[in-house]
């Protein structure tokens, strides 16, 4: 049990915690919605989050990115979306490190909102893609060189490939026997990864979000319009192909990424909605090479994610949260099947 009161005391003055509930289904951090009774008798809602400092090895650099981006967006009068504002501790830090070394942060809560669970209909998809495009456009004049890479080589597929090769070579846990066909399928992706690697060198380096799934958009409960882009932990320099690609990977299949591979079907109307929403928001800002290769980003992200899940399986499930022994292998199979299907579009 986490000591919510003790943690919150570092950030805000309040009378009492009225509600505290774990929310979201992220694979990395732990997120709580808290409702507090304030000294003036009002209630106030916040998001309290434990930042996984094993995954994000430089938490203070990460917060520096977020605070700078928040400031930039706040100053941009034309940015139409809300911002989950980071709230400093009383000691003026963006993170509170507890006695066990856990890193905690607090964000303002964006009310009357929801994050979609399960399948998202094309109207919401279009809205989400438009919001991610709006976010990218609003950050197009942010000095990208000021951003830290919050996870080194996050979408450096060549580097992930080399790590995968190392793991295959040593097979420390003896798990390669359990994943022979999946390993073969990943090895066959080398030409795709090489194509991306070459193309990336020709594309502009932009501020990218790097986790552009439906669950990272807050929607208005009543109008179903996008209210905010959240989860800024992987904001770093990159290419728009990975942001659009992760939308293709996560929105287009009719199943979550850990469903049995045989059940996946693709939703073409959703792909069209993604293209419409994203291209409308970014028109005149993306160059022609970026626009032309948006869909290739989907193949790239799906192939890379398959390799990431398989890497984690072979390493003993040390990165992504798992709820069953073969979880990462099932996710790998799902992503490989998805990639096959996307390649036929
Ligand atoms: C992780 O925790 P979550 O679900 O926001 C991961 C993403 C993966 C995703 C796959 C920092 O994101 O890159 O695409 O799982 N985030 C990090 O579900 O590695
Ligand atoms: Mg995330």
The 10s digit of each residue's pLDDT in 158-209 is 999 999 999 999 999 999 999 999 999 999 999 999 999 999 999 999 999 9
CB 344 within 8 A of CB 252: no
pLDDT tier at 24, thresholds 50, 70, 90: confident
Q: Pull the structure tokens for residue 57.
A: 């090895």
Q: For the chain, what is the mean pLDDT? A: 96
pLDDT tier at 25, thresholds 50, 70, 90: confident
Give long-range contacts, CB 8 A cutoff, 24+ apart: 20-24.
Answer: 20/48, 24/115, 24/215
pLDDT tier at 17, thresholds 50, 70, 90: very high
Counting ligands in written order, which one lies closest to the CA of residue 322? 1
Report d(CA 252, CA 269) in Å as an integer.
9
In the chain, which segments carry CATH 3.30.200.20?
4-109
The topology (CATH level 3) of 122-342 is: Aminoglycoside 3'-phosphotransferase; Chain: A, domain 2 (3.90.1200)
Separation of 18 CA from ligand 1 center, angstroms? 30
Query: Can you point out the beta strands (E) in the chain?
Result: 16-23, 30-37, 43-51, 86-87, 96-97, 103-108, 113-114, 206-208, 217-220, 226-229, 236-238
Strands 217-220 and 226-229: antiparallel
Q: What is the per-residue pLDDT for 327?
A: 97
- Give Cα separations from 128 to 135, 247, 249, 281 (angstroms): 11, 9, 14, 11
With a 6 Å cutoff on the Cβ, whether 237 touches ligand 1 is no
Counting from 1 in the atom list of ligand 1, the atom nearest the Cα of 216 is: 5
With a 6 Å cutoff on the Cβ, whether 258 touches ligand 1 is no
Report d(CA 55, CA 231) in Å as an integer.
14
Counting from 1 in the atom list of ligand 1, the atom nearest the Cα of 55 is: 11
In the chain, which segments carry CATH 3.90.1200.10?
122-342
pTM beyond 0.75: yes
Separation of 201 CA from ligand 1 center, angstroms? 24
Per-position b or e across 79-97, b if 16+ CB within 10 A of its CB: bebbbbebebbeeeebbbe
Tokens 């109207």 correspond to 123
More confident residue, 116 or 40: 40
Report d(CA 199, CA 206) in Å as an integer.
15
Report d(CA 214, CA 40) in Å as an integer.
36
**How large is the average pLDDT for residues 252-265?**
94
Q: What is the per-residue pLDDT for 26?
A: 74
> Could you report the per-residue pLDDT of 59-104, keeping only the tens digit for each?
999 999 999 999 999 999 999 999 999 999 999 999 999 999 999 9
Counting ligands in written order, which one lies closest to the CA of residue 306? 1
Closest-CA residue, ligand 1 atom 8, reads: 211
Residues 6+ apart with CB under 8 A from 323: none
Per-position b or e across 298-326, b if 16+ CB within 10 A of its CB: bbbbbbbbbbbbbbbbbeebebbebeeee
Q: Hey, what CATH class is 4-109 in? A: alpha beta
With a 6 Å cutoff on the Cβ, whether 24 touches ligand 1 is no
Q: What is the per-residue pLDDT for 335?
A: 98
Q: What is the per-residue pLDDT for 117?
A: 82
> Could you report the per-residue pLDDT of 27-37, keeping only the tens digit for each?
788 999 999 99
Task: Tell me: pLDDT of 22 over 70.
Answer: yes
Q: What is the per-residue pLDDT for 1?
A: 65
Closest-CA residue, ligand 1 atom 5, reads: 26
Q: What is the per-residue pLDDT for 18?
A: 97
Q: What is the per-residue pLDDT for 63?
A: 97
Percent of the chain at pLDDT exceeding 70: 100
């Amino acid at each position: 049990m986490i000591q919510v009161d003790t943690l919150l005391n570092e950030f805000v003055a309040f009378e009492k915690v009225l509600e505290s509930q774990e929310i979201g289904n992220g694979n990395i951090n732990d997120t709580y919605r808290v409702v507090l009774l304030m000294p003036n008798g009002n209630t106030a809602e916040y998001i309290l989050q434990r930042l996984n400092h094993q995954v994000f090895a430089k938490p203070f650099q990460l917060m520096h990115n977020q605070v700078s981006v928040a400031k930039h967006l706040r100053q941009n009068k034309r940015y139409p979306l809300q911002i989950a504002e980071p709230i400093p501790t009383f000691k003026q830090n963006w993170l509170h490190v507890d006695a066990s070394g856990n890193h905690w942060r607090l964000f303002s809560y964006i009310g009357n909102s929801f994050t979609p669970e399960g399948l998202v209909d094309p109207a919401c998809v279009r809205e989400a893609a438009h919001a991610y495009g709006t976010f990218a456009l609003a950050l197009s004049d942010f000095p990208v060189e000021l951003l830290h890479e919050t996870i080194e080589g996050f979408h450096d597929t060549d580097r992930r490939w080399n790590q995968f090769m190392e793991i295959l070579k040593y097979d420390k846990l003896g798990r390669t026997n359990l994943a022979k066909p999946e390993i073969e399928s990943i090895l066959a992706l080398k030409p795709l990864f090489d194509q991306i690697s070459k193309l990336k060198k020709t594309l502009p380096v932009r501020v990218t979000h790097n986790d552009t799934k439906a669950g990272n958009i807050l929607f208005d409960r009543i109008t179903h319009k996008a209210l905010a882009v959240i989860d800024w932990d992987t904001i770093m320099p990159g290419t728009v192909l990975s942001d659009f690609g992760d939308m293709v990977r996560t929105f287009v299949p009719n199943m979550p990424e850990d469903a049995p591979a045989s059940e996946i079907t693709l939703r073409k109307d959703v792909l069209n909605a993604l293209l419409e929403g994203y291209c409308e928001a970014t028109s005149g800002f993306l160059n022609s090479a970026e626009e032309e290769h948006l869909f290739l980003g989907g193949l790239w992200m799906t192939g890379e994610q398959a390799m990431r899940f398989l890497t984690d399986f072979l390493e003993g499930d040390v990165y992504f949260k798992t709820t069953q022994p073969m979880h990462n292998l099932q996710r790998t199979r799902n992503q490989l099947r998805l990639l096959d299907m996307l390649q036929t579009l």
